[in-house]
Chains A and B, each alone.
Chain A
Amino acid sequence: MKPLRVSWTHIRRSPYQALAAVLTMFLTFLVSGAFGLTVMTSLLVLKYFESKPQATVFFKDTAEKIQADGLKTTLEATGKTASIKYVSKEDALTIYKEQNKNDPLLLEMVNADILPASLEVSATDPRFLKELESIMKEAAGVEEVIYQKDVVDTLVAWTNAVRLVGGILVVLLSLDSILIVMTIIGMKVALKKDEVEILKLIGASKWYIQLPFLLEGGLYGVLGGFMAWTVMLVLILWFRMSILSFLGIIPIIQAVLGNLLSSAFIGCTFGFLFILSALGFLLGGIGSLIALKKYIAF
Chain B
Amino acid sequence: MITDTAMIQFDHVSKEFGLSSKALSDITVEIKDGEFVFLIGKSGAGKSTLLRLILRDILPTTGTVIVDDWDVTKLPQSKIHLLRRKVGMVFQDFKLLIDRTIYENIALGLEILGKSKEETEKGVSEVLELVGLSHKKNSFPLQLSAGETQRVGIARAIVGGPKILLADEPTGNLDPDTSLDIMQILEEINALGTTIIVATHNESFVNNMKKRTITIKDGEMATDEEKGRYHQSERAKQHHHHQHSSGHKEK
Residue numbers of A with Cβ under 8 A of B are 1, 194-195, 197-206, 208, 298
Q: Are B97 and A206 in contact (CB under 8 A)?
A: no
Per DSSP, chain B at the interface is helix
Q: Are B160 and A201 in contact (CB under 8 A)?
A: no
How many B residues face the partner with a CB closer than 8 A?
A: 25
Q: Shortest Cβ distance from B84 into chain A, in angstroms?
A: 3
Q: Are B89 and A201 in contact (CB under 8 A)?
A: yes
| 20 more A-B residue pairs beyond the given contacts A201-B55, A206-B78, with a C-beta to C-beta distance below 8 A | A1-B104, A1-B111, A195-B97, A198-B95, A200-B81, A202-B84, A202-B108, A202-B109, A202-B112, A202-B157, A203-B82, A203-B84, A203-B85, A203-B160, A204-B81, A205-B81, A205-B112, A208-B111, A208-B112, A298-B80
Which residue from A199, A201, A205 sits with its C-beta under 8 Å from B57?
A201
Which residue from B87, B95, B96, B112 sits with its C-beta under 8 Å from A204?
B112
The residue of chain B having its C-beta at the shortest distance from the C-beta of A9 within the complex is: B99
Chain A contacts for B160, CB-based, 8 A: 202-203
- Tell me, in angstroms, the Cα distance from A97 to B86 when the chains sit together: 81
Q: Shortest Cβ distance from A212 into chain B, in angstroms?
A: 12
Q: Are B104 and A203 in contact (CB under 8 A)?
A: no
Chain B contacts for A194, CB-based, 8 A: 95
- Tell me, in angstroms, the Cα distance from A205 to B82 when the chains sit together: 8
Within 8 Å of chain A (Cβ to Cβ): is B77?
Answer: yes
Chain A contacts for B163, CB-based, 8 A: none
- Tell me, in angstroms, the Cα distance from A197 to B156 when the chains sit together: 15
- Tell me, in angstroms, the Cα distance from A206 to B88 when the chains sit together: 18
Chain B contacts for A195, CB-based, 8 A: 97
- Tell me, in angstroms, the Cα distance from A1 to B112 when the chains sit together: 9
Chain A contacts for B108, CB-based, 8 A: 199, 202, 204
- Tell me, in angstroms, the Cα distance from A209 to B71 when the chains sit together: 25
Q: Shortest Cβ distance from B118 into chain A, in angstroms?
A: 15
Q: Are B78 and A201 in contact (CB under 8 A)?
A: no
The residue of chain A having its C-beta at the shortest distance from the C-beta of B85 within the complex is: A203
Which residue from B78, B97, B112 sits with its C-beta under 8 Å from A203?
B112
Chain A contacts for B81, CB-based, 8 A: 200, 203-206
7 residue pairs bridging A and B, Cβ less than 8 Å apart: A1-B111, A199-B112, A201-B57, A202-B156, A203-B81, A203-B113, A204-B108
Contacts of B100-129 to chain A: CB distance below 8 A: 104, 108-109, 111-113
Chain B contacts for A199, CB-based, 8 A: 108, 112
The residue of chain A having its C-beta at the shortest distance from the C-beta of B104 within the complex is: A1
Q: Are A198 and B112 in contact (CB under 8 A)?
A: no
Chain B contacts for A205, CB-based, 8 A: 81, 112
The residue of chain A having its C-beta at the shortest distance from the C-beta of B114 within the complex is: A208
- Tell me, in angstroms, the Cα distance from A198 to B112 when the chains sit together: 12
- Tell me, in angstroms, the Cα distance from A203 to B84 when the chains sit together: 5
- Tell me, in angstroms, the Cα distance from A197 to B178 when the chains sit together: 27
- Tell me, in angstroms, the Cα distance from A160 to B61 when the chains sit together: 61
Q: Shortest Cβ distance from A182 into chain B, in angstroms?
A: 23
- Tell me, in angstroms, the Cα distance from A48 to B112 when the chains sit together: 57
- Tell me, in angstroms, the Cα distance from A174 to B182 when the chains sit together: 55
- Tell me, in angstroms, the Cα distance from A205 to B186 when the chains sit together: 27
- Tell me, in angstroms, the Cα distance from A156 to B56 when the chains sit together: 62
- Tell me, in angstroms, the Cα distance from A198 to B99 when the chains sit together: 13
- Tell me, in angstroms, the Cα distance from A212 to B88 when the chains sit together: 24
- Tell me, in angstroms, the Cα distance from A205 to B81 when the chains sit together: 6
Chain A contacts for B77, CB-based, 8 A: 298
